Structure 1
Amino acid sequence: MVNACFPPLSWQTYDIDFVNARNSSGEKISNARITAKLNGILIHDGFEIPTKTGGSRPDPEGTPGKIKLQGHNNPLQFKNIWIVKK
């Protein structure tokens, strides 16, 4: 195991590929998946997300919507955010 984080107060880099859950006729046919790198180190590789998260909307899984970035009880800043539809 390796610590992928840079020192505190240094900018961290996340590269995230997200594949939304898919549904057909209101029935979920595949789970959402995420691949993520932190400072160039792979931390999640096609990780399957089987259910909605606590902060999600009431819409069916796979419905396009907003992207939310959050921190938990620590100061947090974001810059140079790119969103690329694949």
Structure 2
Amino acid sequence: MKPRLYDIWPDFEPVYDENEYSWTTLRSLGETLLLNCGECDGPSDMRHPRCKTCVTTRSGTASGAYTASTGREMEKWPTVMLCRIHSPD
């Protein structure tokens, strides 16, 4: 059996800015959390254990901000999108 790419991904440490997230409502997806993985060397794949841990931590941070902003609790985001957003500097 061929190894899955995320199983053989080189070692990395998640790199992110805790404030690099946003949420929006997308048709047919509902409330969607967008997480920027821009500087991270990881696979941006929730099947990788480090990515899953990172997303869980950052989702919690975003949920707190969502509750403070909207007054509604977000226990679990229905959709999470991992993005690599780059801007010219």
**TM-score, with normalisation over the residues of structure 2?**
0.27
Structure showing greater relative contact order (alpha-carbon pairs closer than 8 Å, 6 or more residues apart): 2
Higher helix share: 2
Over alpha carbons, which structure has the higher Rg? 1
TM-score normalised by the chain length of structure 1: 0.27
